[in-house]
């Protein structure tokens, strides 16, 4: 009975953190902000076209039945229930890697450039700088992880699960295979550890970022501003300079498109600057584009446990082992050219 009670209590705690923690990926406050922003956008657009917006029409526009009752949406709910308990363990492992790598970076810099010396900067300036640096490190790690998932065939086989969504909802963000999450967590850990290690060496001590519920405050702002709307049917497009800096909802909807001209584009999370820098940016049109979502060719048993959880393991290892078998055998170097040990 004690184990059952402890298990139920753990479920309650995780559910509470998921819904009520401000830094949560899908907190009620961020969902409420997304609802208000979407409602305001649709209302203003309708008023500019027709002069009025009826509440019933607004609710139909926000929650269309074709999306609410789609089998893809039901699969998103299943992934939410699964991943809200898996994420903690996987990111716990990534947290260990992060701390280990951070210490290694600091030791390496100290051995190369001399001992750490305390900074004379005010605490506010130090913490603000570290907050920005870690946010940019998160964004670069996200972009790099996403780039590799779309370019490395074995990784694509597990990342493909996210792209099997045929309609987009804020819950689609949880449609992620655990192998995908494992790779993502450790790439983020490496990126953040490098940035944090450099900052720790520069300031002479561990300087903590500004955070809410353990999440970088800048990321919290973006989650509450428009990140949820990236997985939605609402076309809000940033263009011009804004479209080169920020990943608008339309940017990410294009990323999910089955149109070949959109493949491997808009890989960033909140910022588009790395897409812009590395040539993976596709700025959306001002007016909504006719998009279809999913993968080509379609997976027959998508939206099922077999098709989205079990089969990707098999495809991942099949591609990985196939690549290893195709690698040419290494030719031993002549003794005279061997590298010194």
Hey, where are the domains in the chain? 37-69, 72-322
pLDDT band at 49 (very low <50, low <70, confident <90, very high): confident
- Between the alpha carbon of residue 187 and those of residues 98, 146, 218, 270, the distances in Å are 10, 10, 20, 17
Question: What pTM was estimated for this model as a whole?
Answer: 0.89
Q: At residue 238, what are phi and psi to the nearest 5 degrees?
A: -95, 130
Q: How many CA atoms lie within 13 A of 285 on its CB side?
A: 6
Percent of the chain topping pLDDT 90:
65
Check residue 152 and give its pLDDT. Answer: 95
Check residue 6 and give its pLDDT. Answer: 62
Tell me which residue of 146, 157, 150, 148 sits closest to 320, measured CA to CA.
157
Q: What's the rounded Cα separation, in Å, for the pair 30 and 220?
A: 9
Eight-class DSSP state of 226: I
313-337, pLDDT tens digit by residue?
Answer: 888 888 888 877 776 544 444 333 3
CA end-to-end span of the chain: 59
Q: Is the pLDDT of residue 118 over 90?
A: no
pLDDT band at 14 (very low <50, low <70, confident <90, very high): confident
Question: What sign for the dihedral angle of Cα 267, 272, 277, 282?
Answer: positive
Q: Is the pLDDT of residue 219 over 70?
A: yes
Check residue 327 and give its pLDDT. Answer: 64
Q: Give the residue-averaged pLDDT of 10-25.
A: 78
């Amino acid at each position: 009975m004690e184990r059952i009670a402890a298990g139920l209590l753990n479920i309650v705690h995780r559910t509470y953190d998921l819904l009520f923690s401000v830094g949560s990926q899908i907190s009620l406050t961020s969902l409420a902000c997304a609802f208000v922003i979407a409602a305001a956008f649709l209302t203003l657009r309708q008023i500019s076209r027709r002069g009025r917006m009826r509440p019933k029409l607004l609710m139909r526009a926000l929650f269309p039945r074709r999306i609410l009752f789609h089998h893809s949406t039901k699969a998103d709910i299943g992934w939410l229930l699964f991943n809200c308990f898996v994420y903690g363990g996987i990111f716990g492992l990534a947290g260990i890697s992060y701390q280990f790598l951070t210490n290694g970076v600091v030791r390496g810099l100290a051995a190369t450039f001399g001992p750490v010396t305390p900074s004379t900067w005010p605490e506010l300036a130090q913490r603000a700088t570290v907050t920005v640096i870690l946010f940019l490190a998160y964004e670069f790690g996200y972009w790099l992880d996403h780039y590799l998932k779309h370019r490395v065939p074995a990784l694509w086989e597990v990342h493909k699960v996210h792209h099997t969504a045929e309609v987009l909802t804020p819950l689609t963000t949880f449609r992620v295979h655990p192998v995908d999450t494992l790779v993502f967590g450790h790439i983020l850990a490496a990126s953040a550890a490098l940035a944090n290690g450099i900052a720790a060496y520069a300031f002479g001590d561990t300087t903590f970022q500004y955070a809410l519920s353990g999440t970088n405050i800048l990321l919290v702002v973006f989650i509450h501003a428009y990140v949820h709307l990236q997985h939605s049917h609402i076309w809000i497009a940033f263009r011009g300079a804004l479209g080169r800096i920020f990943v608008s909802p339309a940017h990410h909807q294009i990323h999910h498109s089955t149109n070949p001209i959109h493949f491997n584009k808009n890989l960033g999370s909140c910022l588009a600057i790395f897409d812009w820098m590395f040539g993976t940016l596709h700025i959306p049109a001002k007016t909504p584009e006719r998009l279809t979502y999913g993968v080509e060719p379609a997976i027959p048993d998508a939206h099922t446990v077999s098709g989205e959880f079990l089969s990707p393991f098999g495809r991942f290892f099949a591609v990985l082992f196939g690549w290893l078998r195709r690698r040419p055998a290494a030719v031993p170097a002549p003794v005279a050219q061997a590298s010194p040990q």
